[in-house]
Structure 1
Amino acid sequence: MAFHDLVFGIIFFIQTGVGVLGNFFLLCLYAITFLTGHRLKPIDSILVHLALSNFIVLIIKGIPQTMLALGLKIFLDNFACKFIIYIHRVARSLSLTFTCLLSVFQMITISSFTWFKLSGLKNKLPKNIVTFCLFSWILCLLMNIYMFANIQNFRENSNNTRIWHMGFCLGFTSGSFKAILLVITFSIPDFLCVGCMVMASGYLVLFLHRHHQVVQHIHSSSFIPRTSPETRATHTILVLVSTYVSFNSINSIMVIYLFQFEKYHQWLMTTSAFLAACFPAISPFVLIFHDSRILHLYYSTLGKDKLPNSSS
């Protein structure tokens, strides 16, 4: 085994292990909170689905990628190979969808737009957030069914197809035009979601700017300002969106570059896999350390009413 393979294997192992534990902690925390009779907010429903999708991404791709980097053999038949890539694609799409839904939900929640109030969207959305989440699962499952027909095991080869190496599986398309069309088709929903996130994040930034101006005014009036839950949640969501867009933008550029070549570039492919798993691994800790509600939920499950050293 080459030294750089060992290094990548250790990095993938740490990334997968830490990310899985972080998302599992959030899932257990929300499950215990729900089972003990504490009421979850509508935004918590989105966070549960986000943590679950990130958990699946890390398990379904992180473990095989770690084994591959460490030189361990992966025995997958055609169906297993298709299934892993399909589930990974679904979970990745869901992670993007729920991050987008999170930012849009927060924008509508704090928005003062008259249209949102007149249409009733501001009141209807929290009540139907679970329905939106379930619809997202169904939509992503259906949209990625084509993966079953497009992915084959690396032991099955063809001289008349374009090959895209994925480490332990190969992607097959029947021609250059079809390959480009496939990439564009599967990229359209991603671009739409990222566009919605950027638009919503822009509004959230304006909200925080106005809030900062109000705080400065209160400071000048010698009052002690107190950060509202909406402001803290908005800041957390902005950090999440910024993290996703940053890693996804770099990874997307790398994937487009890789797709131009039929030859397998192991170092670039491994780096792309690492970047793709960064957001699922980092996001639970962004929520834990930036959103005080998570810590309040944790201490409430322990029977404590407030955080240690918090003022009454």
Structure 2
Amino acid sequence: MIASNIALRIIFISQIGVGALGNSFLLGLYTITLCIGPRMRPIDFLLIQLAFVNDLVLLSKGIPQTMAAFGLNNFLDDVGCKLVFYLHRVAQGLSLSTTCLLSGFQAIILSPRSSRWAELKVKIPKCIVPFCLLCWALDLLKNCVILIYIKGLQDNENITSTQDFGFCSASFNPSFISSLYLSMISLPDVVCLGIMVLTSGSMVITLYRHHQRIQNIHSTSFSSRTSPETRATQTIVVLVSMFISFYSLNCILVCCVHSGKAPLWLVHTSAFLAACFPACSPFVLITSDSQITKYSLAIWGKIKS
């Protein structure tokens, strides 16, 4: 038991530290680039929001979860618990919607010029900021119900409708109305996941057809190059695949947690899976997006000069 607790603490600390470092690096890089660097791509504004909300996901839930793993249980009162869970759920929802916007945006950009999406290629960059603001408004509103159910740790362990999260608790009152409400607020998440699957599939098909056309050209000068647009698409497909995988596994565990009094290890596992995408996504961007290297070199050049 002691060894498992030590391993749990190391895992949470490593996940939060490494993930927050990666997201903070991207936030700092994009902020400096926005102020003094070269002109940014429209998609970079979505990447800024993704890095920010991923940092919020890691810090809002990861730090309290790590403190609970160290045995510090009663450090948050009702107000603190409500705020932590509310911020975490809002940030999780924004991470989902931002990844969905990234996937949809890149699918439109990658679509053939002769297709019916051609007109959207010109208009879509101007819609990024309004869409981001709309996502913030929707997630701030739909997660208000958390302020009702989340409370501090309950002393009475015989309450069957209370789930212990290690540092906070949630009082569930199963009923038709509550189930209907949960289904309604889950609907946007299902829609976003569906859009991501469709747009990712569309991008994979487009890239495959592009690769087939390149193979038919017997010039090595074309076959040996990968366009920045193609690399950006491949990066977003990887991000979407990661998100769907971690999100699906976490949803299964969340359903198990909310179906009854779940053991604490299941709660910790769910928290770990929920933080996997925010912790890994910045490094996918750093290693695969050549534009990040370009921004870094441009900023370094300005600093030296």
Normalization by structure 2: what TM-score? 0.92
1:145 to partner: Cα distance: 1.2
Matched, 1:28 2:33: no
Structure 1 segment 1-312 matched on structure 2, within 5 A:
2-112=2-112, 114-117=115-118, 120-155=119-154, 162-218=161-217, 220-225=218-223, 226-261=225-260, 263-303=261-301
**1:35-65, CA deviations, whole angstroms, 9 ceiling, x for partnerless residues?**
1042111100000000000000001111111
Deviates further, 84-93 or 157-166: 157-166
Would the aligned equivalents of 2:200 and 2:237 in 1 still touch at CA under 8 Å?
Answer: yes
- The number of residue pairs the alignment matches comes to 300
Structure 2 counterpart of 1:142, one-letter code: L
Q: Tell me how far apart the structure 1 counterparts of residues 220 and 266 of structure 2 sit (CA, whole Å).
A: 56
Structure 1 counterpart of 2:76, one-letter code: L
Q: Tell me how far apart the structure 2 counterparts of residues 234 and 82 of structure 1 sit (CA, whole Å).
A: 38
1:277 to partner: Cα distance: 0.3
1:259 to partner: Cα distance: 2.1
Would the aligned equivalents of 2:23 and 2:52 in 1 still touch at CA under 8 Å?
Answer: yes
Would the aligned equivalents of 1:67 and 1:74 in 2 still touch at CA under 8 Å?
Answer: no
Q: Kindly tell me: are residues 223 and 36 of structure 1, through their superposed partners in 2, closer, same or farther at Cα, counting changes over 3 Å? A: closer
Deviates further, 266-275 or 193-202: 266-275
Q: Tell me how far apart the structure 2 counterparts of residues 283 and 162 of structure 1 sit (CA, whole Å).
A: 35
Would the aligned equivalents of 1:64 and 1:74 in 2 still touch at CA under 8 Å?
Answer: no
1:160 to partner: Cα distance: 7.5
Would the aligned equivalents of 2:74 and 2:153 in 1 still touch at CA under 8 Å?
Answer: no
Question: Structure 2, unaligned stretches of length 5 or more?
Answer: none
Q: Identity of aligned pairs, percent?
A: 50
1:159 to partner: Cα distance: 7.5
Would the aligned equivalents of 1:16 and 1:62 in 2 still touch at CA under 8 Å?
Answer: yes
1:178 to partner: Cα distance: 4.7
Q: Tell me how far apart the structure 2 counterparts of residues 214 and 12 of structure 1 sit (CA, whole Å).
A: 46
Q: Kindly tell me: are residues 161 and 185 of structure 1, through their superposed partners in 2, closer, same or farther at Cα, counting changes over 3 Å? A: farther
Normalization by structure 1: what TM-score? 0.90
**1:3-45, CA deviations, whole angstroms, 9 ceiling, x for partnerless residues?**
2111111100000000000000000000110110421111000
CA RMSD of aligned residues (A): 2.0
Deviates further, 292-301 or 157-166: 157-166
**1:209-241, CA deviations, whole angstroms, 9 ceiling, x for partnerless residues?**
0121122123x3444432111100000000000
Structure 1 counterpart of 2:99, one-letter code: T
**1:229-265, CA deviations, whole angstroms, 9 ceiling, x for partnerless residues?**
110000000000011111111111122222222x231
**1:197-218, CA deviations, whole angstroms, 9 ceiling, x for partnerless residues?**
0000000100110121122123
1:70 to partner: Cα distance: 1.6
Q: Tell me how far apart the structure 2 counterparts of residues 4 and 160 of structure 1 sit (CA, whole Å).
A: 28
Structure 1 counterpart of 2:70, one-letter code: L
Q: Tell me how far apart the structure 2 counterparts of residues 58 and 222 of structure 1 sit (CA, whole Å).
A: 45
Would the aligned equivalents of 1:29 and 1:298 in 2 still touch at CA under 8 Å?
Answer: yes
Structure 2 counterpart of 1:186, one-letter code: I
**1:240-294, CA deviations, whole angstroms, 9 ceiling, x for partnerless residues?**
0011111111111122222222x23111111111011000000000000011111
Q: Tell me how far apart the structure 1 counterparts of residues 53 and 94 of structure 2 sit (CA, whole Å).
A: 6
Q: Tell me how far apart the structure 2 counterparts of residues 156 and 38 of structure 1 sit (CA, whole Å).
A: 57
Question: Structure 1, unaligned stretches of length 5 or more?
Answer: 305-312
